[in-house]
Amino acid sequence: MPHSHLPSAVEELRERTRHFIRGAVMEAEPAPGQRLDKATRDQLQAAAKDARVFAPHMPTEYGGQGLPIEHWSPILQEAGYSPIGPSVLNCMAPDEGNMHMLHLIATDEQRKRYLAPLAAGRIRSCFGMTEPHPGAGSDPAALRTTAERTGGGWVINGHKRFISGAVGADFCIVMARTPAIGDAPEGATMFLVDMDNPGIRVGAPVHTVDRAIDGGHPHVHLEDCSVPDSAVLGSVGQGFRYAQVRLGPARLTHCMRWLGLARRSLDVALDRAQRRELFGAPLASLGLAQNLIAESVIDIETSDAIITKTAVLLASDPRAGSALSSVAKVHCSEAISRIIDRSVQLCGGDGVSDGLPLAQYLNEVRPFRIYDGSTETHKWAIARRAAKQRHARVEAGERYQGTAVVRDEDA
C-alpha cells in the first residue's frame, strides 16, 4: 500500500526496496538457524546496487541512496521484512551505525580509508565497547580498556566481549579510557584499529540464539596494541559524547529493521488464520484469534509512530532525539517480541517448528531487549530524565499540581 505522506522520491525507493526484497532476497534466505554465506551476500549486494536500493542511509557520494534520517524507517522496514535484507542492502548493525558515525566525525583521510570501502560493502567492521564484568556494559562509565600515550601514538590494552561482527571484520572502533592530556580531559577516546594489527585478536565466540549479524559476537583482546595518532576518531577524551552520535540512531535503526520482521511475522500468521479452520469456521473469524491479531496491529502502528517521531527529532535536535530513542527502543523491542510471539501462537505447532520461520524470528529479536542497553537500563535512564526535567520546570516557577502539594497560602 503506498505511503502517500512520503515525498515521491522516498516512496519510489520504498517500492523498489519492497520489490527487491520480496522478489530477489527472500528466495535466497538460509534455513532457520543458518547464516547468510559470503558468496550469496556478495551476489545479492551487487544486485541491490543494480536495483538502486543499496545503502539507503548513505550519501550518494559513497554509493548510497542519500536518504535523510527522517525517512530511513519505511525503507529499513522493507529491508527488514527479510532477516537477511539489511545485510544485503548494507544497512545492518554494526556497520550501519559505524558508517553513520564515521560520516559525521571522521577526518577526510579516515573516511577514504575506512568509510568508503565499508559503505561499498567491500569490508565489514565492529564496535568495541562492551567488556566482561566488571567492565563496561550497561554502564559505559565502568570502561576498563586503557590507551596510554607514547611518542608517536597510543598503546591500547583491554578485553572486549560480545563484539558483534568481529569475526571477519576489517577494523574495529575501540573505546578506551585515556588520561587528561593538554586540553583533552580524562575520559574515553575512540580508536580505529585494523583487525590485522598484531596487538588485536579475536578470542572465544559467544554463542547466541540470533544469526542475522555477520561475524558473531566474540571476545576481542587488545594486548600492547600500538596505533598512530591518526587512529584517533574524533577528539581525545570525547569518546562517550561521540558514542551518543552513534547509539541514538543505531537504537532506532534496530527498531526499524525488526519492525519489518514483525510485519512479516504477522503476515505469516494472517495467511495461516485465513486458511486454517477450527470448529467449523476460519481461525481469523474467532474472537480469541482476532484479539491476538488486533493487539499485534496496535503494536505495529504505535511502534511505527514513535520511530517516525524519533527520527524527525534526531534530524532537528540530535540530543533530544537520542533521549527519545531510548523510549522508542524500549517500546519497540518489547512490542516486536509480542507481535512475533502472538504470530507463533496463531500458527500453533507449526509456529514452533522449522516448517515456518517464526521460531527463528523469535530467536533473532529476543536479544534486542538486551542489545544496545537492556529494557531495564533504559527504563532507569528514562525515569531519571523525567524526574530531572520535572524538577527543572518546578525550579523555574512551574507550580506543582494536585491538592496534596498545593498549600493554602499558594491558592
Dump pLDDT digits (tens) for 301-344: 999 999 999 999 999 999 999 999 999 999 999 999 999 999 99
∠ Cα 103 108 109 (to 5°): 115
Q: Is the pTM of this model over 0.85?
A: yes
Dihedrals φ, ψ of 220, to 5°? -135, 130
CA dist 21 and 15 (Å) reads 10
CATH 2.40.110.10 maps onto the chain at: 125-237
CATH 1.10.540.10 maps onto the chain at: 8-119
CATH 1.20.140.10 maps onto the chain at: 241-395
Mean pLDDT estimate for the chain: 94
Least confident of 159-163, 171-175, 180-184, 219-223: 180-184
Per-residue model confidence (pLDDT) at position 125: 98
* CATH architecture observed for domain 125-237: Beta Barrel (2.40)
**Fold of the domain spanning 241-395:** Butyryl-CoA Dehydrogenase, subunit A; domain 3 (1.20.140)
- Please state the rounded mean pLDDT for residues 383-411: 75
- Please state the rounded mean pLDDT for residues 161-178: 97
Residues 70-114: tens digit of each pLDDT: 999 999 999 999 999 999 999 999 999 999 999 999 999 999 999
- Please state the rounded mean pLDDT for residues 41-70: 97
Set of cell numbers at residue 11:
516512496
Per-residue model confidence (pLDDT) at position 401: 65
Class of domain 8-119: mainly alpha
Q: How far is CA 41 from the centre of its chain?
A: 20
The model's confidence at residue 406, banded by pLDDT at 50, 70 and 90, is very low
Per-residue model confidence (pLDDT) at position 404: 52
Q: How far is CA 376 from the centre of its chain?
A: 17
Identify whether the C-beta of residue 135 lies closer than 8 Å to the C-beta of residue 89: no
Closest CA to 176 of 146, 134, 151: 146
Per-residue model confidence (pLDDT) at position 138: 83
